[in-house]
Every structure is written in structure tokens, then in C-alpha cells.
Amino acid sequence: MGKGERKKLIIGLAFVSPWLLGFFIFYIYPFIASIYYSFTVYHIISPPEFIGLRNYVDLITRDPLFVISIKNTLYYAGISIPLGIVMGIIIALLLNAKVKGMAFYRTIFFLPVIVPFAAHAILWKWILHPKLGVVNYIIELIGIKHPPGWFQVPGWSKPALIIMALWASGQAIIIYLAGLQDIPKSLFEVADLDGANWFQKILHITLPMISNVVLFNLVMGLIQAFQFFTQPFIITKGTGRPMDSMLMYNLYLYQQAFKFFNMGYACAMAWMLFVAIILITLFVFKTSKSWVFYGGE
């Protein structure tokens, strides 16, 4: 490397050094440090004490709230993700129709995405209020005398979270809409010549052609579901009540880290979550070969 090239390299590194410094301090170091802390007892105010795999063993064998948080998270993910995919595709099909004022309708469905999570949670806490909420008011008008208690009843709290999450699925809907508009019209024209009805066209043309989009939204939905935190934190004020029915995995991780200051324990939880997301994502990609169609294949 010549003198001029070295000078350009030094100048270039000088320009990117603030970003590199921030990247190593705020990303790389915490990433590596959390691995070590997950094998320690660390309460911030005292030095970490190495204990090996005890945190991981205690999580699996001695912590009932850990099991409850996993069940709550799996319940939420197992229902909200399939419902989100089905509802997103149906709404995207409706928004893909050639109707006057369609730009307005598309905007309406996307608006909930730009609402901050905190405002989102507070809004739905009032909408689903057992006595003052508009949803229960409508249910009572229909004739049901005892509407659900929603966030105040353990049996209805997670369905309420799922309803709230589906309301803000506009981003996935827009992605489905983009996938629908990328389907060649010639495929539908050929299907019309063969006498296919609307259901057959959706089943044999639309769904296979947007299967790669479904895969993307499925993976993103899995990651978001396993990291679900802000809404249950605000609605329950960080407690996960009633009866720990809204104690999601990330909320319990937060409690261990910033309420009880069990940083080592929380780091172990974080790494278990990281590994779980990686394994589930790899499984989804592995199985996607049998149902995802790519145009170039």
C-alpha cells in the first residue's frame, strides 16, 4: 500500500471512527459481556460471581414464573401469528380491488402502524375497559348482559392482547398488497380461460405467488411475538397481572433485570430467548422449501 493510499485509509477510518466506536461500545461489548454475565450472579452493586450453568438450571427446574411466561408467550404467538397472516391476506385482497377511493382505505388500514406503542396500549386499555369501553357497550347493545372483562380477567387478557396486536397489522398488510400487485396478470387471464372460479385462483395462483411474502411476515411475526413487551408492560404497569396472565417472556426478563436486579439471571433468559428465536427461524426456513414458491424456480 502506497503512501497516498495509507493516507486515504487513515482519513476514511477517521471519518467512520465515531460509528465504529459506538458500535463496539454499545453493541459488541454488551453482546460479549452478556454471555459471561449469564454464568454469574450479578446484582450491579457487587462484582459478578461465576456460578457456571446454575442460572440456566434454575430457570428450567426451579422457576415457575419462567414456565408461565413461556406459556403466555407461546399462547400469544400461536394465535396472533396465524390470525395475522390470514387477516392480512384477506384485507390485502380487498385493498387490491379496483374501487374508487382505494388510496384512502389503504391509508386508514396503515394508520395504526404509526401510533406509538405506549399510546396504542393506553388507547386499547380504554377501548376494552369492562365498564367504560366502547367494545363492551356495543356487546351490551347486542343483548349480551355479561360482556368479557378483557384485561382485568385472566381468561380474557391474552385474547385482548391479540385483538390489540391485530389492529396494528397494517405493515404486514402493505407488504401482502405489494406481493399481490407483483403477480403477473397473465396467470389470472389463463385461469379465466380454463374456467377457474375466484377460490381456485386464490388457492392455486395467489397464495403460491405470495408464499415468499408470507414467509417474510411469518419470520418477522415470530420475532416480534417473542419480543412482545411494551403493551403488556404499560397495561399491567410491569406486573403481568391479573394472576400473571400477561406475564410475557420479555416482561419477566425486564422484571429480573431492572426490578430485582438479577442481571446474571436476566442475561441467561436473554440468551435462551436468542437461541430459541434462532432455532425456530431456522426451522421455518428449513420447512419453507416445501411450500414457498420463488418466481425464478
pLDDT at position 88 is 94
> Is 252 inside a domain boundary?
yes
For 282, phi then psi, to 5°, come to -60, -40
Could you say which DSSP state residue 41 is in? Answer: E
pLDDT of residue 262: 93
**Using CA atoms, how far apart are residues 170 and 166, in angstroms rounded to an integer?**
9
Q: What percent of the chain has pLDDT over 90?
A: 72
Give pLDDT, residue 296.
Answer: 56
Is 102 among the domain residues?
A: yes
ω into 242 cis (within 30 of 0): yes
Measuring CA to CA, how many Å separate 47 from each of 29, 44, 130, 291? 17, 7, 48, 51
pTM of the entire predicted model: 0.89
Tens of pLDDT along 88-117? 999 999 999 888 888 899 999 999 989 898
Beta bridge partners of 7: none
Instruction: State residue 146's pLDDT score.
Output: 86
| Mean pLDDT of the residues in the chain | 91
- Residue at 49 is within a domain: no
Q: Which amino acid is at 149?
A: G
* % of the chain at pLDDT higher than 70: 99
Query: 40: which strand partners?
Result: 50
Considering the domain boundaries, does residue 181 fall inside one?
A: yes
Residue whose C-alpha cell reads 435462551 in the numeric block: 272
30 lies in some domain: no
Name the pLDDT band for 73 (thresholds 50, 70, 90). very high
Please count the structural domains in the chain: 1
Q: Considering the domain boundaries, does residue 59 fall inside one?
A: no
For the stretch 33-51, pLDDT in tens is 999 999 999 998 889 999 9
Q: Looking at the domain assignment, is residue 36 inside a domain?
A: no
Q: Would you say residue 178 has pLDDT above 80?
A: yes
Q: Which helix (H) or strand (E) holds 30?
A: helix 29-37
Dump pLDDT digits (tens) for 112-149.
989 898 999 999 999 999 888 999 999 999 888 888 99
Q: pLDDT, tens digit, for every residue of 195-228?
A: 889 899 999 999 999 999 999 999 999 999 999 9
What's the CATH number where 202 sits? Answer: 1.10.3720.10
- The DSSP secondary-structure symbol of 193 reads H
Distances in whole angstroms, Cα of residue 20 to Cα of each of 16, 179, 187: 6, 37, 49
52 backbone φψ class: left, alpha, beta (φ>0; ψ -120 to 50): left
In sequence order, the β-bridge partners of residue 49 are 41
Going 253 to 256 to 262 to 265, the CA torsion angle's sign is: negative
48 assigned to some structural domain: no
Domain that holds residue 115: 64-290
pLDDT at 297 over 60: no
